Each structure stands twice: as C-alpha cells, then as structure tokens.
Amino acid sequence: MMIGGMAATDIAERFGTPVYVTDEQALRDNFRRIHQAFNRHMETRVHYACKANSNMAILKVLEQEGACIDAVSLGEVLTCLKVGYSPDRILYTGVNVSNEEFEGLVEAKVPINIDSFSGLRRLAAISTDVPISFRVTPGVGSGHHQKVITGAKGSKFGIPIEEIMDAFREAVDLGFKPRGLHAHIGSGGQSVDPFTDLVGILLGVVNDLKDELGLELEFLDMGGGIGIPYRPNEPVMDVDELAANLTEMIMEESDIKTLAVEPGRYVVCDSTVLLTRCVDIKRTEEKNFIGVDAGFNTLIRPSFYDSYHHVAIANKFNKACEARYDVVGPICESGDYLARDRVLPEPEEGDLVAVYDAGAYGFVMSSQYNSRPRCREVLVNDGEAELIRDSEDLEDIWRHQVMPQRLM
C-alpha cells in the first residue's frame, strides 16, 4: 500500500501505530474539485467545516488553497486565526452559545450565524456592530445516520422556518444589518435532491424578506455535509451536477450574488488512512478476530454511528482473502470494533491494517478512554512524510489532574 508516494509500512515503521496519515495532494485535489464545480457558475465561498478535522497543518493547506472556514466553536475560530485565516474568511455557526463565547467572537471580529432568538438578544446586549446571518430550520433532513440529521423539524439547530421572518425583523429593530441566510440539513448525504429541496425553501425566504422587509441579502449559505463513498463500488456524489442545479436555481429565482457551501467530510475524509498494527489473533466457533492497537478511543465512528470503513491488510495487497474477521481494538468494551465480518487475507501478528476514509471525524473525536494517550498524525507529500501532531503520553493524561493535599 502506497500513501502519497510512500509505502504505508515505512510510515508505520517510522512513526509507530496507530497513526493517522494524510495525503496532502489528495486533500488539495478534493478542495479544488468542489471549488471549481461551483465557481464556474457563480461566486461561491467554500467554507471548510473544520470540525471534521482541525489539525493546524490541514487547515494551513486549505488556507493556501483559498478556503474559507465554517467554525462551530470559539476554539475553532481562534485556531483558524492562528493558522492565518482573516476574520472575514470565517463564519461562526454555533448552537446554545454562551455570553462568554459571544464576547470572544465579537472581539475576534468574525461574522456570526445566529441560531436562536435568545442568542440574537444576548448578542445585541454585547454588540450590534458585527456581521450576522441567520440559521433556519428548513424541515428538510439528510444524512448517513439519525444522529447527524440536522435540518428536520424538531432539531435543536436553527430558528423554525415559521419564525424566521420575525427573527430578521427583530434583528433590524435591534440595530443589526443581516447579511445572509443559512441552513444545514445533515452530514454525509449522497443524493442531490435534498440539497435542491433545501435551496428551494431558502429562496422562498430570501424573496419574502425582500418583499416584506425590503431586505436584500448578500449571500445564501447551503450547509449540509456532502457525502463520500465509504463502501467499495458505492456511487460518488456528482458535485458538478449538484453545483449546476443549485446555482441555476439561485440565479434564476433570486438576486443573491454569492453562494456559500460547507464541505468538511468531502474535503478531508478520503485523504486520510488510519494505520494500526495487528497485535493479536483469536479464532472462536462463532467469529475470527484481528486484534489491533487502535480502538474506539482512536476512531469512534464505527461504534458510535455503526459506520462502515473499508479495511485492508496493507502489507498483503497481493494475498488472497481467505476468511471473515472482525477487526477489534484494545478497549475494555464489547462495542470496541473498527470493522465487522470482513473478508481478509490470513492475518499474522505484526501485520499492518489500514482503515480507509478516516480523515473526517477521526482524530477530532478520539479520546483518552482507558487511559490510552491519543496517537500521532502524519502528512505525506510527494514521497515525504512529516509529523503534524505528536502522540501523547501518560504525562499528558495526568497533567491537568489535581490531587487534594489532604489525600497526599
């Protein structure tokens, strides 16, 4: 197995396992593909949803490509500013935002996407001299799992569409100058239809705002994660068709000049592989197990979302697949698995197992559960590998714990 022109076995030998390995050129290609698909039709700001992968080297690569940022916390905002993004290239879209976070955002001078009437009023008490837009709950949901569908009725996110006109009206009365409208339908969708449904709904609101309040918005923000194929032979989202359909609707049915899209998974997911070492092999009457040194503390998606990740034995690409195995980790939980019922070559202790499409919601959702330090991240480009995050050790786990003096 080769990653960015370098053998996976060499990477694992040099940096140890488990380790997340990102191919820089694949990352750049993914961003360019979606940026070009939309901008050939109309001006489109591609806001990378950095919650998918907030490693600073990843963020810097995308900053060089001209990306904007979709941030969901003050921490993400400050990280992106530190990397080199200017405040106007960051759009903050939070939920249940505290006053302290609002104060930090105002100080950082980033545009804020308002999620509730409460948030609008509390922000107004801090400052109205800040660019704002509104997040609406459109009643359209899409995603790979119920836990990531965000746009359906009853969602905790956004202002219900029945109340969005009142939100804009109150914002104007408070002294704001709203600039845009945003909605997010969910993460990992593979069909074009939910996105066209969403834009149709948003355009109705845009035109009502112009007719009833005289507001002409500057941008429309089509949130919602564009999916990628995790399974072999799964169809790929046609971003060219998506871009053509959405931009045609916007240009024909509104005066909106700028579109914003918020890909996270699409940009980073398939650029990254998790490499993990086989440390144990167990065969029972019911199942065969390949025990590896990465568990759901390293990659939680299979356990949390029942997500599928393709796996292969990286040093046995030329070997025939002979039996079915579950790939399981070292965490003391029965739900600790990376893959189930996969046909693989005969494993041996020391084999290198590759878990594909691990760049999105991989390291960022990892933990220190079972007192296991988090792993390294590596960036590979043109046959050269560089460390972009060092592994933790036990001192990192202990560092912020405080022992009361009376227990000493």
pLDDT in tens, 364-387: 999 999 999 999 999 999 999 999
- Collect the ranges in the chain with pLDDT lower than 50: 141-151
Q: Which residue blocks in 50-175 are alpha helix, DSSP H? A: 56-64, 74-83, 99-108, 117-126, 164-174
Mean pLDDT for the chain overall:
93
Token code pair at residue 160: 């219900």
Q: How far apart are CA 135 and CA 137, in angstroms?
A: 7
Q: How far apart are CA 215 and CA 206, in angstroms?
A: 8
Block residue for tokens 């969403």: 198
Query: Across the chain, how many H-helices and E-strands are there?
Result: 12, 20
Q: Which residues are catalytic?
A: 332
pLDDT of residue 149: 44
b/e 95-110 (16+ beta carbons within 10 angstroms → b)? eebeeebbebbbebeb
Query: pLDDT tens digit string along 326-359?
Result: 999 999 999 999 999 999 999 999 999 999 999 9
CATH topology agreement for domains 24-265 and 269-398:
no
Query: pLDDT tens digit string along 104-127?
Result: 999 999 999 999 999 999 999 999
For residue 362, how many other CB atoms are within 10 A of its CB? 26
CATH number of 24-265: 3.20.20.10
Q: What is the pTM of this model?
A: 0.94
User: Phi-psi bin for 52: left (phi > 0), alpha (psi -120 to 50), beta?
Assistant: alpha
Q: How far apart are CA 357 and CA 269, in angstroms?
A: 5
Block residue for tokens 């750049």: 28
Q: Which CATH superfamily is domain 269-398 in?
A: Lyase, Ornithine Decarboxylase; Chain A, domain 1 (2.40.37.10)
Q: Where are the domains of the chain?
A: 24-265, 269-398
Which run of H or of E encompasses 396?
helix 394-398
Q: How far apart are CA 335 and CA 324, in angstroms?
A: 18
Q: How far apart are CA 139 and CA 393, in angstroms?
A: 45
pLDDT of residue 188: 55
Which run of H or of E encompasses 198?
helix 193-213
Q: How far apart are CA 281 and CA 210, in angstroms?
A: 65
